[in-house]
Amino acid sequence: MIKKKKKKTGRRLFDGKDEKIILLKLEEAFAIGASDVEACLYADISPTALYEYQKKNKEFRERKERLKEKPTLKARQTVVQNLDDKELAFKYLIRKRRDEFASKMEIDSHDRDDLEKLRKELCDLTQNKKWRRVKRKKRK
Nearest to 43 by CA among 34, 124, 52: 34
Q: What is the pTM of this model?
A: 0.58
pLDDT of residue 133: 57
Q: What is the dihedral of CA 22, 23, 28, 32, to 10 degrees?
A: 110
pLDDT tens-digit map of 39-64: 999 999 999 999 999 999 999 999 99
pLDDT tens-digit map of 11-21: 677 777 888 99
CA-CA distance, 19 to 25, in Å (whole number)?
Answer: 10
pLDDT of residue 30: 96
